[in-house]
Structure 1
């Protein structure tokens, strides 16, 4: 599904929730409609029920009723706008083709694809290029204890193995300790670099495993601040643990699942 169609589908769902919320608020509000009239430098308020009957509302004695009817009037105008917008979104979704550029490309035989210049680079091709691209990786220190992941990498800690295996299980494209450049620290090696295929960008996953160690926590803060200064705040995932609090796997899963290559419906929770 193309990004625009997905955005509109999400907007339709969000709009529907807002419409139902406003409808419930209006249904629970006071009966009648608020009429606002300007009299020289002040406003006068009236409540009307039906087309003929209306009564004056005192600003002092009926302040609460004015406030509630005013909120109702505002909610009704918002509901009208949301309803119009919902109708427009529904019309778009009905007429918009569901085909994607990937589907058009994949419909051609491989022999034909070799002769074509794609309008939009196929997702599978982008992913394949990223997987095959060589990268600078932090070297392991001889003699230290290491752990083997399901995907065959050698990592430095049990928690990193758990994270790597989670990424592999959820079909998230990643690399272990691939070099990255920050503004102040220069070249660093994030624990995991994730390829966000949907937005064609890199996302960094850092596991801070000794946050109750004062020296370590200071370095962690410096590193985090440099990520933010370098413009990576919106593509940074952080997990952490201490000597008394282990890695929270359940909290990490929702953070990595959006980058899965597998359709959401196919992922087993």
Structure 2
């Protein structure tokens, strides 16, 4: 159970983050044009209007050549929503710090509460394409991370003979089972993604994972032939190289093993992953 000091500490961190976000948003708004954006549709296509006077419900049509104005006004509207929502949460956080009250912990308690990170998610897609988010939710962060391009290992592609549920080709049945498990429980992952170590050496960990809650990257190496001495020594050297480059077992490196007579237990591993990520 989280103690009082930890709760207050987290609230203080959140207070600083909210105040900084409000300050940044206000500073950005100063550089944007006056007015706000109205979007209407003509034959299914969005049309943009600039409203200066609050009494004017129609606004002035924004030409395609002035599309940047629509972007800037949409960005301004978005930033104003960030400020309003952040101010509301900041008031609650300050009150909680002052009173020593616990912040809601359950989903039920949080129903109806919107955070600044959720503002972008709440926008219609027509507005999303116009704005550059200042803050994003963990789900949005994970979606963007998953869509990033990355270099995959080209080593012996003919050895990739197993197909995952994401239609990826992997080298072993165990790797297929692991990949499908990550997919099933919603852990974003990349298979054999290029990793450039601080030393400049390039490695391709079996799995590169994203912890959605902390937004930290974790690496997972599955050592499936530990009864092979040459294979074992090669991977022990790899683990040592990881350590020298700031990647540590139990912190940002997961290791799983198997050998003849000692199969990999995916059920037990899934329990561990659910605790870690």
| TM-score, scaled relative to structure 2 | 0.55
Aligned equivalent of 2:194, options 173, 179, 187 = 179
- Residue 183 (structure 1) shift: 4.4
Shift of the 142–186 alpha-carbon distance from structure 1 to 2, 3 Å rule, reads closer
Give the equivalent residue in structure 1 for 2:235. 220
Give the equivalent residue in structure 2 for 1:102. 117
Stretches of structure 2 that go unaligned for 5 or more consecutive residues are 7-96
Alignment of 1:252 with 2:262, yes or no, is no
Shift of the 108–149 alpha-carbon distance from structure 1 to 2, 3 Å rule, reads closer
Q: In the aligned structure 2, how far is the partner of 1:224 from the partner of 1:139?
A: 21
Could you tell me whether the CA contact under 8 Å between 1:210 and 1:241 is conserved in 2?
yes
- Residue 112 (structure 1) shift: 3.8
* Superposition CA RMSD, Å: 3.2
**Structure of higher CA gyration radius:** 1
Shift of the 144–93 alpha-carbon distance from structure 1 to 2, 3 Å rule, reads closer
Could you tell me whether the CA contact under 8 Å between 2:227 and 2:259 is conserved in 1?
yes
Q: In the aligned structure 2, how far is the partner of 1:107 from the partner of 1:143?
A: 45
Alignment of 1:243 with 2:234, yes or no, is no
Number of equivalences = 179
Shift of the 136–101 alpha-carbon distance from structure 1 to 2, 3 Å rule, reads same
Could you tell me whether the CA contact under 8 Å between 2:206 and 2:220 is conserved in 1?
yes
Shift of the 129–108 alpha-carbon distance from structure 1 to 2, 3 Å rule, reads closer
- Residue 115 (structure 1) shift: 4.7
- Residue 258 (structure 1) shift: 5.2
- More moved, 149-158 vs 219-228: 219-228
SS in 2 for 1:190: coil
Could you tell me whether the CA contact under 8 Å between 1:172 and 1:257 is conserved in 2?
no
| TM-score, scaled relative to structure 1 | 0.57
Could you tell me whether the CA contact under 8 Å between 1:185 and 1:223 is conserved in 2?
no
Give the equivalent residue in structure 1 for 2:224. 209
Give the equivalent residue in structure 2 for 1:146. 161
- Residue 11 (structure 1) shift: 0.5
SS in 2 for 1:91: coil
